[in-house]
Amino acid sequence: MDTLSVEDVAVLLRLNKKRVQTLARAGKLPASRVGRKWLFSRARIEALLGNPSESAPAAVQDLSARNRLRGRILSLQVDGVMAEVRLAIGDQDLVSIITRSSVERMGLKVGDQVFAVIKSTEVMIGK
């Protein structure tokens, strides 16, 4: 079994090391504690990210935002110049309001695999 340290998981998930420890302690990240160290199964962490062989689109990779969540579009409601995008991320739903032109430009449709990019008060969608 390939194991990862807190530092490895922090880089992989683009999170702060303290956040990784907090999530492990709360049982929200699959981990085992050995003494004072947390150990993570690479396969289980990569499973949380979806298919690890698929890389993020270049536009999303180039963003400075750290909080990227892979999800699947559950519903799209387009009205006027705005659109509501509802994503399934794990067992949680996330809603983002984006422009209609962004939906059209990215060709978003229900069932698509996308990223929610969260930075400060914004949630952006990348495909």
Residue pLDDT, tens place only, 25-40: 988 888 998 888 999 9
Domains of the chain: 3-50 (1.10.10), 59-126 (2.40.50.100)
Residue pLDDT, tens place only, 39-60: 998 888 887 776 544 444 444 4
As a whole number, mean pLDDT of residues 87-108 equals: 91
As a whole number, mean pLDDT of residues 93-110 equals: 92
Closest CA to 114 of 101, 98, 127, 103: 127
Report CA Rg, the chain: 16
Residue showing tokens 């702060």: 16
Cα 24 → chain centroid: 17
Q: What is the layout of strands, in order, in the sheet containing 92-99?
A: 92-99, 82-89, 67-79, 113-119, 122-126
The percent of residues above 70 in pLDDT, for the chain, comes to 83
pLDDT at 39: 92
pLDDT at 1: 59
As a whole number, mean pLDDT of residues 55-70 equals: 58
Residue 120 has pLDDT above 80, yes or no: no
Name the token pair of 95. 């809603």
